[in-house]
A and B are shown apart, each in its own frame.
Chain A
Amino acid sequence: MSFSHLIGDWHALAVLFVAGVVPNQIWRMLGLWFGGGIDEGSELLVWVRAVATAILAGVIAQIVVEPPGALASVPGALRYGAVGAGLVVFLLTRRSIFAGVVTGEVFMLAGKWWLG
């Protein structure tokens, strides 16, 4: 991996600024400016939170359904199985994030090893 590889090009950094930095900082600074008058329990914020959660859920689904990079080498059934197994253990352990993540990983690695 070369040095220029690690730096990348300025175009990509400009895209990061436009599509990543600005869309996030806008909301933070609006919160800072207009924060005082908004009721935290208002109906609008309930909807906003639900949409934000569902978008996040979509991201999770996208990574599992259309996996990037090396994850694409894992068969679909094994990816879904790993998430399912992790979810079961997460629920059984009274919502332990750690136990869920470890179970999902072990399931995937064991399946990969078993399939050869």
Chain B
Amino acid sequence: MPAPPRASLTRAAASPVMQARFLSSAKASVALPPLDSSQWQSPLRAFAWGLRSITQTILTIVLFVTYLGIGALAHDTHFSLLWALCSTLFVWAGPAQIILITTLGSGATVIQSALAVTVSAIRLFPMVVSVLPLMRTRTTKRRELVFAAHLTAVTLWVECHRFLPLVPRERRIAFVHGLGCGLVSVCLCANTVGYFLAANLTQTLGAAILLLTPLSFLFSTARNSREIADVVALVLGILLYPLAANMNSGVDILVSGVVAGTIAYGVHWWRAVRA
């Protein structure tokens, strides 16, 4: 599989339509049957093509690494392996899982953790809103989309915009189910491996696995930052956290997040007004 020409794609991201970059990156690198192929006639085949598509994206490796870190983090904060696997299966949002583990691990109450996770999960709302119309046909019932909505997180959202234009509309739900199940399976394996590695490795290698989480999150978020508001939010969010942590409110991440995010929005608003 030839690597997509990344540099030129990043430049092309100036478009206000956020998925344009992903759409334009798709055509060259995705190996799927043509839209009119008989391969698409059975939903099961479409599911299998979705499953197979996890090998077509670098994000699978990023996810594996992140969930390796989550498994290790769960071990080091004294959660059980079953707990870690359940969180992957039923939460299915890396940042939320890390916020949950780190806040509970550092002594926050259930309410404080729930609050921080709820705010971090708001981003799932616009993702679901924007991704489901890609799968819907005129006869699609809402309940047929429930599982696809559950599978929606940042990776699936990015990949849907990349893959789905190459999938016949009536097979897209099956395809997404396959893609999502593939990604979840990879992450469950990664959790298990990370959990046991953290339990059995030397301290240095254990530290290396835990360091994977902030590194992969920082760089994948930075890569997805399309607008000035995203960049300001990322940088300020990092810089304000140590200040907020000094307040010892128990909801430090929430405080620094809302302040930094609102300032970032202010920058966005100010630029829009001036333009």
Contacts and interface: CB of A to CB of B under 8 A. Distances in A.
Contacts of B217: 56, 59-60
B114 A22 contact: yes
A48 B75 CA distance: 32
B265 to A, nearest CB: 4
B238 A101 contact: no
Nearest to A108: B211
B274 interface: no
B262 A47 contact: yes
Contacts of A8: 79-83
Interface stretch (B22-30, B175-183, B253-261): B253-261
A27 B124 contact: yes
B208 interface: yes
A70 B203 contact: yes
A24 B92 contact: yes
B215 interface: yes
Interface in B80-103: 80-83, 86-87, 90-93, 95-100, 102
B257 A58 contact: yes
Contacts of A18: 110, 114
B85 to A, nearest CB: 10
A71 B260 contact: no
Interface string A60-90: 1111111111110110000100110011001
Contacts of B199: 1
B39 interface: no
Contact of A55 (B82, B120, B198, B219): B120
Contacts of A47: 261-262, 265
Interface in A24-65: 24-33, 35, 38, 40-41, 43, 45-65
A73 B111 CA distance: 30
B53 interface: no
B257 to A, nearest CB: 3
Interface range, B side: 35 or more
Given A20-B97, A57-B234, A50 B129 contact: no
B207 A57 contact: no
Nearest to A72: B207
A65 B7 CA distance: 32
Given A15-B104, A50-B230, A62-B241, A97 B223 contact: yes
Contact of A16 (B100, B105, B253): B100
Nearest to A29: B149
Interface stretch (B40-48, B57-65, B166-174): B57-65
Nearest to B225: A53
Contact of A12 (B83, B111, B268): B83
B199 to A, nearest CB: 6
Interface string B106-128: 10001101101111111111111
B241 A58 contact: yes
A15 B236 CA distance: 31
Given A96-B6, A105-B211, A57 B121 contact: no
A20 B207 contact: no
A60 B219 CA distance: 11
B244 interface: yes
Given A23-B117, A35-B132, A101-B216, A71 B80 contact: no
The 9 closest A-B pairs by CB, nearest first: A69-B76, A8-B80, A57-B237, A31-B128, A51-B261, A70-B206, A54-B237, A55-B257, A54-B260
